[in-house]
Copies of this chain bind each other. A is one copy, B any other.
């Protein structure tokens, strides 16, 4: 973290976090911050725009920036990796591969993974636990070009993300997540230890490399009461999209 604008952003985050800038109060002006940190106004703007994207501060032209929230957003790394996220929150993650089988992509999978129809894929069913309790069931489809590396992972691998990075240098950089609710099916109920028909939060996601190449697509089903997803947005940054179905 040698970049000045990140240092300043971090300084502001902690200042907000420990109450020096309470929720609802105004932040120092850009000119003051620039003078205080000995940088130009442009660098300060980079820093505060990061906080704005995280939903911690709001801004209006002409008025000073306002503190909206004391808690920073999660890092992307924590969202990508179940294990990293769990440990960050003081929980103990666990993982177990229940099934793993190569196959051929159907139309939808081929489109999501940008593969030719019938291209090779690896299907994995994985149960994730949180502090020993089943928390979610992952049905992941990996693109053929990464399948070999995934297949070599141990069955009880805690962090797939971490292992793949260490073994192949693969980095997950972008993701698209679709959230809705479904009733637990037979397999869901057995694996997660809930009654059939229980509401589950379903997250269908596709992850790509920094170059935009799709790596995996997954159907994750969360046990109710175990996890909540949060999105912050504002007029400037709006990542949350609501879509109607046919």
Contacts and interface: CB of A to CB of B under 8 A. Distances in A.
A142 interface: no
A234 B180 contact: no
Contact of A173 (B197, B230, B234): B234
Interface residues of A, number: 70
A130 B238 CA distance: 23
B199 A233 contact: no
Number of copies of chain A assembled together: 2
A86 interface: yes
A164 interface: no
25 contacts: A23-B114, A55-B174, A55-B239, A58-B174, A58-B208, A58-B212, A63-B211, A68-B212, A174-B234, A174-B235, A175-B233, A175-B234, A176-B230, A178-B230, A179-B229, A181-B199, A181-B200, A181-B222, A227-B245, A229-B240, A230-B242, A230-B243, A231-B240, A231-B241, A237-B237
